[in-house]
Chain A
C-alpha cells in the first residue's frame, strides 16, 4: 500500500508528506519574500528579520524591511533584500 502511494505521488509529481511539512520560501526578485510554515519571529528590525522555520533559522538581511502580513504560519516581508541565510537552530 505504501509503495502504491509513493508510486502515485511520483507519477503525479505531487509533494510528499515530508515536503508539505517543510517551510516554503518564495522570493519575488529582491523586493519581497513570502515564507509559509514559519513557527515564530526571533528578531525583527529594519535591516534584519530572523524567523524560526522549525528545522532551521532563516535570516533575511536588507534595508527598510517591513513585515506586510503576519497571519498564522504565513509571513510576507518586503523591502530591499540583500541576502538570505539559513542556519541550524
Chain B
C-alpha cells in the first residue's frame, strides 16, 4: 500500500465500514471476485477495509449477498479531490498554467550579470553584451557564448584580457578580467595598505597581493584596514609591499543637486513616482496615470530576486518630473538634467540597487536629492611609513 501510494492516490480509494450479516462470507466473495481489500480489520463484528474506487461499486452486490450493510467512511485520492473542488476549477487550471509558464520561461535568459573589472565598468560590459544580442529576454538556445565572447574581446581590446559568458541556468554571467600591460603585475609600487574610503558593509574581498585584514560580511568605517601590505615570515621578519585587491561594499549614498530659481523660466512642476512591472521585455504600469508626455523621466530598475537567483521580472520606478506650463525649459527639467549627468558621472562603476528622489524648495533655490543604495568598489591605497 505504501509503495503504491502514488498510484493509489491517482486511482482513488474508499475506506468503508460493513456490519451485520456474515463478514467471513463477505471476505470470501471479495476474494473470489478479485476485489482487493487493503487492511481489512474486524472489530466487534464490524469490518473496516479500503478498496480501490473502481472496486467499490462491485462491493454492493457482495454486501447484498452476504447480508451486510455497507457505508463509505472516507474517500481519498485525486478523483475525489477534483470532484470536491470542481467549483474551484481555477485552482488546478492555475497550477497547470504555472507549470507551463515555468517551462516556457526556463527557455529564456532571465538576467545578465557582471561585476565588471578595474578597467571596464559593469555598465560598459552589459552595454557591449546587449549590442551583441545578450540581454534579458533572449531565447537561451540562441545565445552563442563563444561568438559573443570573441566579438566582445575584439571590441574591448586593450581593456580586457578575457571576456567569458557563462549560462548558469537562466542567468548569463559575464566574467571579465582586466588587461594588464606586460610586466605590470610584477612591478609593485611603494609599500601601502588598502583602506576603506567610505563607510559600508563589506560584500567581497579579493586579494591580489597582501593579506586580508577585514572579514567579508562585516561593516567597515572609513579608514579601516581592508588589505594589509605588511607580512611577517616564520623568522619574525616583517616585509612591506603594496597591497592590491578588489573589494566591494554596500552603502547608502546621497547625491544632491541644486539650482537657483532664476536660472530658467521657473514655475510649478510636480514630481511623481510611477511604478511598473517589467516581465522580460514587457512593461506593465501599476495603476492609472495621466497620459501626459510633458515630463522628464528618471528610471530605476529593481530586479526581483529569490534565494540569490534573479527572476525574469522586476519593478521599474519612474520618477516623472512634469514641466511647467510656461514656455521654455523649467528649473526642474534643468535640475533633472543636472542630476542625471551627476548620477552617471558618480555611479559609472557602481551597481545602484535603488534610488529615492526628493525635491525641496528653499528660499531662492530648488534642491533635488537622491538617496541611493549601491554596491561600489571600496578601498584606497594608503602609504606605509616605513621609516
Q: Provide 15 A-B residue pairs closer than 8 Å at the C-beta atoms, listed in order of the A residue.
A: A40-B24, A40-B31, A44-B24, A44-B27, A46-B42, A46-B43, A66-B40, A66-B41, A68-B39, A70-B27, A70-B30, A70-B31, A71-B31, A71-B36, A72-B31
Chain B residues whose CB sits within 8 angstroms of the CB of A40 once the complex forms: 24, 28, 31
* Interface presence of B23 (CB below 8 A): yes
Q: How far, in angstroms, from A42 to B43 measured CA to CA in the complex? A: 16
Binary interface profile of B, 33-64, with partner A (CB < 8 Å = 1, else 0)? Answer: 00011011111010000000000000000000
User: Chain A contacts of B37 at CB under 8 A?
Assistant: 70
| A44 lies within 8 A of B31 (CB) | no
Chain B contact residues: helix, strand, loop or mixed:
mixed
Q: A66 touching B39 by the CB < 8 A rule?
A: yes
Distance between Cα atoms of A43 and B40 in the complex (Å):
13
A residues near B36, Cβ cutoff 8 Å: 70-71
- Chain B min CB distance to A26 (Å): 19
Task: Determine the chain A residues whose CB is within 8 A of the CB of B41 once the complex forms.
Answer: 66-67
Chain B residue contacts of A66, Cβ below 8 A: 39-41
In the complex formed, the residue of B with least CB distance to A71 is B36
Interface size class of B (residues with CB under 8 A): 10 to 19
Q: What is the size category of the interface that chain A forms with chain B?
A: 10 to 19
Q: In whole Å, how far is A51's beta carbon from the nearest beta carbon of chain B?
A: 10
Q: Please, how many angstroms separate the alpha-carbon atoms of A83 and B28 in the complex?
A: 24
B43 and A70 form a contact (CB under 8 A): no
Within 8 A of A (CB), among B1-51: 23-24, 27-28, 30-31, 36-37, 39-43, 45
Q: Judging by beta carbons under 8 Å apart, are B40 and A70 in contact?
A: yes
- Residue numbers of B with Cβ under 8 A of A are 23-24, 27-28, 30-31, 36-37, 39-43, 45
For residue B376, give the distance in angstroms from its CB to the closest CB of chain A. 68
Q: Give CA–CA (A42, B36) in the complex, Å.
A: 18
Chain B residues in 8 Å Cβ range of A41: 24, 27-28, 31
Interchain residue pairs A-B with the least CB separation, the first 5 = A41-B24, A40-B28, A41-B27, A67-B40, A45-B42
- In the assembled complex, the Cα of A71 lies from the Cα of B32 at a distance in Å of 9
Assess whether A42 is in contact with B42, with CB atoms less than 8 Å apart: no
Which residues of chain B come closer than 8 Å to A46, judged between CB atoms? 42-43
Question: Within the assembled complex, what's the spacing in Å between the Cα atoms of A24 and B194?
Answer: 84
- Across the interface, name the chain B residue whose C-beta is closest to A67: B40
A44 and B43 contact, Cβ closer than 8 Å, known pairs A70-B37, A71-B36, A72-B31: no
Asked whether, in the complex, the Cβ of A44 is within 8 Å of the Cβ of B39, the reply is: no
* B contact residues around A71 at 8 Å (CB): 31, 36
CB <8 Å contact, B45 and A45: yes
Q: Chain A residue with minimal CB distance to B25?
A: A41
Residues of B within 8 A of A42 (CB): 24
Cα distance, A40 to B40, chains bound together (Å): 15
| A49 to chain B: closest residue by CB | B42
